[in-house]
Amino acid sequence: MPAGVDRAYDLPIMPRLLIVNCTHDSLLRRLIAEGSRPYDEQFTVSMACHLPAGQSLETFTLNVGDGEGLPQGVELGDFDGAWLSGSPLNVYRLEQPTVRAQIDLARAIWQAGVPAFGSCWGLQLMTAALGGTVHLNPNGREIGVARRIAPTEAGHQHALFAGKVAPFDALCSHEDEVATLPAGAELLASNAVSRVQAMAIRDGGRSFWGVQYHPEFDFSAVAAIIALRVQRHLDEGLALSEDEVATIVSDFRSLTQDATRKDLAWKYGLHADVLDPKVRSIEFGNWLRAEVLPHATASR
């Protein structure tokens, strides 16, 4: 177990987190039918790995993917942190429904000074909101396990990766990547597929941490995505037959049920960085300690 992962800490207050669900409910229902947890549940389960026994977080899910807005009387400033989820949308396709609205919301979260964390689309969304650019990854789609993510010099010093063994692997699914960082942002990690695997930006009391991979994913989430995109795997040469894709889906579902399967770990070259839920989601625990709790304490 990496140093620092099991460090206990007390929550002086119960932080309030906004979960920004950026995916259309129709797709989420299909993913759930294939065995995935809902996105907000993936996040809360991952966050729970980093809470002392008996302590919890207060969360509110905003289904911005379907155009939902905050209820009357609720403001962004009421929250101590915001998590921006994944999505199959493309930030450079402004004609796609909700893309403009989601960019505006990300910018509003930043301007409100609410500490934010973005996974995959969440990273791309805040990048666009703050003046950076995103494009289709010329190296192709990264799906399943992102390999050998290496922190930069700045990343080694940043709280995002405290307790993280480097280089590391991570669960993922994306075809776009950040092309240019927003002004003032730090590049924190890269791998052979995507130059921007992690970045952070701070401006006074405003902060954002983002990763191109999915710390909240488990293998059932990846299996569900693959199950819905069999033909894409074949078209892109990621598998040679439908049976091969079905085997991958079955194996990943088995790993969800039993992460100690040595045969599957050997077959896919997997280690604790993706098999252990607590190690896999260290970034969330670090964000909670470094950004959310200080904000919550200062705002009460």
Hey, which residues does 118 pair with through a beta bridge? 84, 210
Strand segments (E) across 166-225: 168-174, 176-180, 186-190, 198-203, 206-211
DSSP assignment of 233-282, as one string? HHHTTS-SSHHHHHHHHHHHHHHHH-TT-HHHHHHHT--HHHHSHHHHTH
Which residue is catalytic, options 214, 233, 283, 291? 214
For the question of residue 49 being annotated catalytic, the response is: no
Q: Residues 238, 242, 246, 247: is their CA dihedral positive or negative? A: negative
Helices 99-111 and 121-129, packing angle to 10 deg: 70
- Tell me which long-range contacts 9-13 makes (C-beta under 8 A, separation of at least 24): 9/52, 9/289, 10/52, 10/55, 11/51, 11/52, 11/55, 11/293, 12/293, 12/297, 13/296, 13/297, 13/300
Which residue is catalytic, options 50, 142, 174, 216? 216
For the question of residue 295 being annotated catalytic, the response is: no
For the question of residue 174 being annotated catalytic, the response is: no
Which residue is catalytic, options 22, 120, 158, 291? 120
For the annotated catalytic residues, the residue numbers are 120, 214, 216
